[in-house]
Chain A
Amino acid sequence: MSEKRAQCLTGKGVTKVFGLGDKKTVAVDHVDFDFREGEIISIVGESGSGKTTLSKMLLGLISVSEGEVMFQGKPRDISTNQKKKEYWKGIQAIFQDPFSSYNTFNKIDSVLLDCINMRGGKSLPYDQKFEMMREACSFVNLEFKELTNKYPFELSGGQMQRLMIARIFLLKPKILLADEPTSMIDACSRATILDMLLKLRDEINMTIIFITHDIGLAYYISDSVYIMEHGKFVEHGKAEDVILHPKATYTQRLINDVPKIYEEWDLSTV
């Protein structure tokens, strides 16, 4: 099915090298990818596999050492601040730790108002802005009236992460990059977050790049999966194919080492 969808974010030979000379480390090593519009793509890797570095490159927060990233079929140009601003209207992110994702000195209202301003709604009357904020909050099952004039740290981790999604709802980017958005919150709130991500995809046709170390989570949420090891993609394809019938030994090991419920978990293989 991915053949029919339009190209959203593609990359060829994308590489990131840190340091110079002897201290040189290759964090991301010539990866190719083809993310299609409206898909949920998971990038699965263990810590140190380079998945966070890749995500920062995709976001344009750090430069690409080598290779090319194409956004909607055209080469991505983020050479000036103005062009970066334009690019960031199309791609946004949710990070792992909701507690460090907020400036604790700003109220929740200002977080949301910022998004409206970014979408060019600066001159709108306050009533209209209020309505937009209320709508965004209700999208993530939060009541804006209860949040206004509060500070982010007065919320629970799950609520903070939902507010991050409300922010995305207001910004309506083409692509959402979610970097381990559920790893710091409780299992009970995790389902809510995942539901909302699915809703974003279904209602706004957003492309979601889901970065995780949890292969079960990747299987649950995504259409296609990229498995990353030591800065390289070792396997990619449809979620069912990759997870249920892995071909790469690394993927097989990864799946093997995760505790199972329905099947026997084979402890003898380590």
Chain B
Amino acid sequence: MGKVMLEVKNLKTKYVTRQREDVFAVDGVSLKIEEGKSLGVAGESGCGKSTLALSLIGYYFPPLHYISGDIIIDGKNISGMKPDEVRKKVLGTEVAYIPQAAMNALNPTQKIIRFIEDVIHVHDPKATKKDIYDKAKERFAVLGLPEEVLQKHAVELSGGMKQRTVIAISTILSPKVLIADEPSSALDVTSQKMVIKMMRELMEKGFIRSMIFITHELPLLYNVTDDIMVMYAGQIVERGTAREMVFDPLHPYTKGLMGSIIVPEEGVRENKLVAIPGTPPNLKHPPKGCRFADRCKYASPTCTAMEVPNLEVPSKESDANREYRCLMSVRKIREVYENE
């Protein structure tokens, strides 16, 4: 087992609405990522995956509030730090965060190299412009980005190039964890592929030591990350290797999600798409039992009566266990799915 880069223990965070109501968007999430591994987070909109990303970087601004739990990055607990402290000590060196609209965050009046200087100066105020330029040039070359980009303004770059540049800038200090929230969803397919390729390279060359990749596009996750975790109503419902999750899902919700995958490959037309009826529960008042119970066709009265824990079962493909949140045993699940 590799060194644990990121460990999250029972993290709970909430949003406070204008009506002063609490929305428990991340409700007891625990996870571990080892060095050199990547984890994909999937789920419907509103399941808490983007909130999880914001919570993990420790950047708490209203309406987002921290409730409890630990976030440990390479042995260092960052939960409870003040946002300013997080910005100085954590962002950039420990964690980097790339949201979907990252490419729009570049100030159009500045050249790209200025942003890199800014990032490096926060952690190393003495670095000279030349050193920074050399470092940036080298990193850009490795990642296949042209050097001229450094001297350009953001408006001169295309959307895909901008997004790749932002990723290169935010990982220039080789952070331990990269958290990417839908980094390629606003791009066309070719730019998306380039972004994905670059993120793979970042991992392979060791510029980032672990990665969390959040998206609602399952085929993408399948191709990018080692493990996939499915979130539903603020909780993890299943986690396993990418292959297991797509071809051998355990939790009924995961099964439903995988049934909605559409790819332009032979045989897809013959598979009937599966729809999950109903809507996710309101996170202002999360239900006591299994949160998926009212949409689940296998649900029994016990499902809603008690809190369902995350079960760990051995994985066929990896040393780590896979986990799922359902009262049915693995054998029962396989039997039920077989009979459909």
A–B direct contact (CB < 8 Å):
yes
Interface set of A (CB-CB < 8 Å, partner B): 46-47, 141, 156, 158, 186-192, 194-195, 213-220, 239-240, 243-244, 253-255, 257-263, 265, 267, 270
Closest to A239 in B: B269
**Contacts A195-B273, A257-B189, A261-B246; is A186 near B219 (CB within 8 Å)?**
no
How many angstroms between the C-alpha atoms of A202 and B4 in the bound complex?
Answer: 54
* Complex Cα–Cα for A216 and B196 (A): 19
Contact B273–A260 (Cβ < 8 Å): no
Contact B264 A216 (CB under 8 A): yes
Residue of A nearest to B188 (CB): A46
Tally inter-chain residue pairs, CB-CB below 8 A: 102
Q: Report B-chain residues with C-beta under 8 Å of the C-beta of A214.
A: 262
CB-nearest residue of chain A relative to B274?
A191
Do A259 and B264 have beta carbons less than 8 Å apart? no
B257 within 8 A of partner (CB): yes
Write the chain B residue with the least CB distance to A253.
B190
Expressed in whole angstroms, the minimum distance between the Cβ of B186 and any Cβ of chain A is 10
Residue among B193, B216, B218 with the most chain A CB within 10 A?
B193
A46-B257 in contact (CB<8A) = no
Q: In the complex, which of the residues B188, B222, B269, B275 has the most CB atoms of chain A within 10 Å of its own CB atom?
A: B275
A and B contact pairs by CB, cutoff 8 A, 27 listed = A46-B188, A186-B45, A187-B44, A187-B218, A187-B260, A188-B260, A188-B275, A188-B276, A190-B275, A191-B259, A191-B273, A195-B273, A216-B219, A216-B262, A218-B264, A219-B268, A220-B262, A220-B269, A253-B190, A254-B189, A257-B189, A258-B264, A260-B223, A260-B263, A260-B265, A263-B265, A267-B193
Secondary structure call for the B interface: loop
Question: Do B216 and A186 touch (CB < 8 A)?
Answer: yes
- Which chain A residues border B269 with CB–CB below 8 Å? 219-220, 239-240
Query: Given A187-B257, A239-B269, A270-B194, 18 more contacts at CB 8 Å?
Result: A187-B216, A189-B275, A195-B275, A215-B264, A216-B263, A216-B265, A217-B262, A218-B264, A220-B269, A244-B266, A255-B264, A257-B193, A259-B219, A259-B223, A260-B265, A261-B246, A261-B265, A270-B197
Give the complex CA separation of A156 and B44 in angstroms. Answer: 13
CB distance from B113 to the nearest CB of A (A): 25
Instruction: Report the Cα distance A141→B276, complex, angstroms.
Output: 13
Output the least CB separation between A46 and chain B (Å). 4
Is B256 engaged at the interface, CB distance under 8 Å to the other chain?
yes
- Whether the Cβ atoms of B189 and A47 lie closer than 8 Å is no
Closest beta carbon of chain A to B80's beta carbon, Å: 34
B192 at the interface (CB under 8 A from A): yes
Q: Which 8 A-B pairs have the closest CB atoms?
A: A191-B275, A191-B273, A259-B219, A187-B260, A257-B189, A216-B262, A188-B276, A192-B275
Chain B residues, CB < 8 A from A262? 263, 265-267
A46 x B273 contact (CB < 8 A)? no
User: Which B residues between 195 and 230 are near A, CB-CB below 8 angstroms?
Assistant: 196-197, 200, 216-220, 222-223
B219 touches A194 (CB 8 A): no
Those of B268-309 within 8 Å (CB) of chain A: 268-269, 273-277, 279
Q: What is B's interface to A at a CB cutoff of 8 Å?
A: 44-45, 188-190, 192-194, 196-197, 200, 216-220, 222-223, 246, 256-257, 259-269, 273-277, 279
Please determine whether B265 and A267 come into contact, CB atoms closer than 8 angstroms. Answer: no
Which residues of B lie under 8 Å from residue A188 when comparing CB positions?
44, 256-257, 260, 275-276
Task: Determine the distance from Cα of A240 to Cα of B217 in the docked complex, in whole angstroms.
Answer: 23
Q: Are A257 and B260 in contact (CB under 8 A)?
A: no
Q: How far is the CB of A207 from chain B (nearest CB, A)?
A: 19
Which B-chain residue is minimally distant from A44 (CB atoms)?
B264
How far does the Cβ of A193 sit from chain B's closest Cβ, in whole Å?
A: 9
Query: B190 near A257 (CB under 8 angstroms)?
Result: yes
A154 CB, nearest partner CB in chain B, Å:
12
Q: Enumerate chain B residues within 8 angstroms of A190, measured Cβ to Cβ.
A: 260, 273, 275
Contact A219/B264 with A257-B192, A270-B194 known, Cβ cut-off 8 Å: yes
A16 to chain B, nearest CB (A): 21
Are B260 and A259 in contact, with the CB atoms below 8 A? no
In the complex, the answer to whether B190 meets A270 with C-beta atoms within 8 Å is yes
Cβ of B256: which chain A residues have Cβ within 8 Å of it? 188
Highest count of chain B CB atoms <10 Å: which of A190, A215, A216, A240: A216
Bound complex: CA A219 to CA B271 (Å): 12
With contacts A47-B188, A186-B216 taken as known, whether A194 is within 8 angstroms of B273 at the C-beta atoms is: yes
In the complex, the answer to whether B268 meets A220 with C-beta atoms within 8 Å is yes
B residues within 8 A CB of A217?
A: 262
- Residues of B within 8 Å of A240, CB to CB, are 269
